[in-house]
Amino acid sequence: MTSWGHDPLLHSQDSGSTLLHQLFVREMRCLYWTALSLVDQYKQWEEIAEARELKRALAVHNHQTKQHVNRIESVLQHLDLPLAFEESVGMKGLIKEARRTMSETKEKSAQRDAALILCWQRIEHYEIATYGGLVTFAETLQYHLIADILRETLKEEKEMDEQLSAIAARYINTGALQETV
């Protein structure tokens, strides 16, 4: 558990009653739903991925995502909020699109791995945008300790996106190119 110290505006009436604070809380709850949903999604993708390196990346990121859930819970608790989530319509759409894309690819193929990376990167970019925006909100609200926690997750999401690009470039995409219909 994180030692939070004292964020001076965190419990002030002015900060908690601002529209920015309300937006921050709503987006944190959507992010909570997102992280919980992705834990299940990454496990499913790990089962269908063919490339060992991709399976490993999914396993690692699934573990990280469980840590992200814990961090989000810590932030909500720090804000004296119940552990409640709100469905993220955007993420729900990305997950639905990923499932459709996977269903249209050949099982046990580099094509499917390439599609999996593409879908995963869409999700990573959505998360990067969300975490980046929430870091900025937290800083503006002077929730500096919360901003640091969110920034840590943002860094991990960016690193995973770069790793996925490298895996795709190293051999997944060329493997898919060699497959025929």
Q: How many CB atoms lie within 10 A of CB 131?
A: 22
Considering the domain boundaries, does residue 3 fall inside one?
Answer: no
Residue 168 forms part of a structural domain: yes
- Within 8 A by CB and 6+ apart from 100, the residues are none
CATH at 104: 1.20.1260.10
- Burial class of residue 139, CB neighbours in 10 A (0-12, 13-18, 19+): middle
Distance between CA atoms of 11 and 85, rounded to whole angstroms?
21
181 part of a folded domain? no
Structural domain including 61 reads: 13-175
In a domain, 136, yes or no: yes
Report if residue 1 sits inside a domain: no
Q: What is the pLDDT of residues 35-93, one digit of tens each?
A: 999 999 999 999 999 999 999 999 999 999 999 999 999 999 999 999 999 999 999 99
Give me the long-range contacts of 99-104 (CB less than 8 A, separation at least 24).
102/48
CA distance 63 to 59: 6
Would residue 151 count as lying in a domain?
yes
Q: What percent of the chain has pLDDT over 70?
A: 91
Contact (CB, 8 A) for 153 and 131? yes
Q: How many domains does the chain have?
A: 1
55 located within any domain: yes
181: number of Cβ within 10 Å? 4
pLDDT at 153: 98
User: Does residue 149 lie in a domain region?
Assistant: yes
pLDDT tens, 6-49? Answer: 454 444 445 678 999 999 999 999 999 999 999 999 999 999 99
